[in-house]
């Protein structure tokens, strides 16, 4: 599905942050469309 919604000329990048500080846990997911040929940091 991700490939189907990624614009032509772009690559999908997924960034994930997790925390598990007792007694809670959380996650943040960021999905970005990066122009093809952009250096990976």
Tell me the pLDDT tens digit for each residue of 24-34.
999 999 999 99
pLDDT over 80 (residue 41): no
Confidence at 40, pLDDT banded by 50, 70, 90:
confident
Mean confidence (pLDDT) of the chain = 94
**What are the phi and psi torsion angles at 31 (to 5°)?**
-110, 120
CA torsion through residues 26, 33, 3, 13, sign? negative
For a pLDDT cut of 90, what percent of the chain falls above it? 88
Whether the per-residue pLDDT at 12 is higher than 90: the answer is: yes
Torsion of CA 33, 38, 36, 1, to 10 degrees: -30
Note the pLDDT of residue 28.
98
């Amino acid at each position: 599905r991700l490939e189907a919604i990624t614009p032509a000329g772009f690559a999908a990048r997924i960034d994930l942050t997790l925390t598990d500080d007792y007694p809670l846990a959380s996650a943040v997911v960021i999905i970005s469309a990066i122009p093809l040929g952009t250096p990976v940091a």
